[in-house]
Structure 1
């Protein structure tokens, strides 16, 4: 699916029950707002779309019974466990332990961040609230319009009022596949400018791993950029996981890859967070 930038307004995204254009007519998105606790003093808001609304948006009757429809849907309507793991690790890494209503913590250097396969966008929204410029990418434009952008609006209400509802402060939204995203970003002068790349639950298949690695290599700022990838150790039925991704990165030779966190809480398969840094 060719990559494109979505030009959205905060006013449109702020209405959680507004009609969303799914390409063949208006669909009412019955989004429910929920609280996600990252740390005791760090909480974010997210939407939840019913199976009925999700199926209508994508015009896929089988969506209620599947987390993945190859070539059409990549699981973005669901908040996956590793997204919370990654957000929690970002809090620890950047010493974010609270969000005051009027004075958000500032990340050193106000970095530019890209969240690949963002879905609900929780890790990216966390860094956005902490002062970064964040660009959100998901395969499905419907995910971005129905959930990601409304989540950004819900979590940055004060900043959005200052923007008078016309655009998202320090945020941009890109849909489409990773193969065509670098070409679009190059046209926008953004290729190789991202200080941080985040990605959670995106290496579930061997095919997706190669595409993700290629995209990271092209989008990350040379020498100084760093990527964090959160995923399960193994995805049953689809063949991916952290072990196979580490082997791929090592074989490619562009990055040093290291496991920096392991979550083995019994709630699901063992989960890990990897970091990728350019070799020097």
Structure 2
């Protein structure tokens, strides 16, 4: 049984050139945490498909699940199957995904950030997108699926006609989950070479810490839309998240954040995050969707002021 291990800390050794003159100042609690624990956050890198991606795709096809989002069908790997497959391969001992499984935790500070699991707020945001936007909305859009994990948000955007980049903390997640999921959703009639060309033409995948990702891509075209789900649970990383929004969003762009109203044990949640946004005085935010269930969830929309 996986569980959250909410002991992720802000990076005390952050390269000062990564985020210059922070817009979103750290509060006293965040500053104190930086002094008490030094986490070596992964540097950002662009991730390429593994050499055997195409050859194992037929095997993945047999173990994929379908979900319906409005009029769109999305296929994706089942996490349980994937984890069993990884554990069965002796040459994959060092994968961060495997370490999380062996530690029975979805979060290992500085090592793994829960990318193998599809969190419920992702479903909320998928449904919201399907109901809110017509097909024409996506034409010529540049979209970022930030903290993508399985990549379902970005895959939905691709299938509507957008060009999408994917970012996740873990390279392993992108190689063994996100890339296969993207290819499970391309036209089946494409040849192997055409599938690889599709990836090269329509997507970029990046691993690593948010602030390092923002620095790595600072000279590239910015995004019309940034989609992110279940990424605000750790208050100590929210400053980096907001800095990434500010650095990678077009001036007239939109950010959609799907999250729970409260994450027990760490104090993060939509209300707290809204206060952080207001404190930064960079974005205006509004609640555009809410679920009134036992564990309340919602979606925030952010725009530059």
User: What TM-score, normalized to structure 1?
Assistant: 0.82
CA contact (8 A) 2:144 2:225 kept: yes
| Matches for 1:51-70 after TM superposition, within 5 Å | 51-53=83-85, 56=93, 57-58=95-96, 59-60=98-99, 62-63=101-102, 65-70=104-109
Counterpart of 1:170 in structure 2 is 202
Counterpart of 2:110 in structure 1 is 71
Unaligned runs of 5+ residues in structure 1 are 19-28, 96-104
Counterpart of 1:248 in structure 2 is 276
CA distance 1:166–1:231, change in 2 (3 Å):
same
Counterpart of 1:6 in structure 2 is 47
| Matches for 1:251-262 after TM superposition, within 5 Å | 251-262=279-290
C-alpha distance in 2 between matches for 1:14 and 1:277? 42
CA contact (8 A) 1:153 1:160 kept: no
Are residue 182 (structure 1) and residue 214 (structure 2) matched? yes
Are residue 236 (structure 1) and residue 280 (structure 2) matched? no
Decide which of 235, 250, 256 is 1:206's aligned counterpart.
235
CA contact (8 A) 1:258 1:276 kept: yes
CA contact (8 A) 1:10 1:165 kept: no
| CA deviation string 1:109-138 (max 9, x = no partner) | 411001110001111111110000000000
Greater shift in the superposed pair: 109-118 or 3-12: 3-12
| CA deviation string 1:152-202 (max 9, x = no partner) | 111123585496233304111000010101121125x23xx1000000000
Counterpart of 2:181 in structure 1 is 151
| Matches for 1:103-122 after TM superposition, within 5 Å | 105-122=135-152
CA contact (8 A) 2:61 2:184 kept: no
Counterpart of 1:277 in structure 2 is 303
Greater shift in the superposed pair: 86-95 or 194-203: 86-95
Match of 2:156, SS state, is: helix
| Matches for 1:75-86 after TM superposition, within 5 Å | 75-86=114-125
Q: Which protein has the larger Cα radius of gyration, Structure 1 or Structure 2?
A: 2
CA contact (8 A) 1:203 1:245 kept: yes
C-alpha distance in 1 between matches for 2:224 and 2:288? 18
Decide which of 166, 171, 180 is 1:136's aligned counterpart.
166
| CA deviation string 1:210-234 (max 9, x = no partner) | 1111100000012x11100000000
C-alpha distance in 2 between matches for 1:157 and 1:14? 17
Superposed CA RMSD:
2.5
Are residue 35 (structure 1) and residue 51 (structure 2) matched? no
Q: Which has the higher helix share?
A: 2
C-alpha distance in 2 between matches for 1:150 and 1:271? 29
CA contact (8 A) 2:138 2:160 kept: no
CA distance 1:182–1:110, change in 2 (3 Å):
same
> By how many angstroms is 1:265 displaced?
3.8
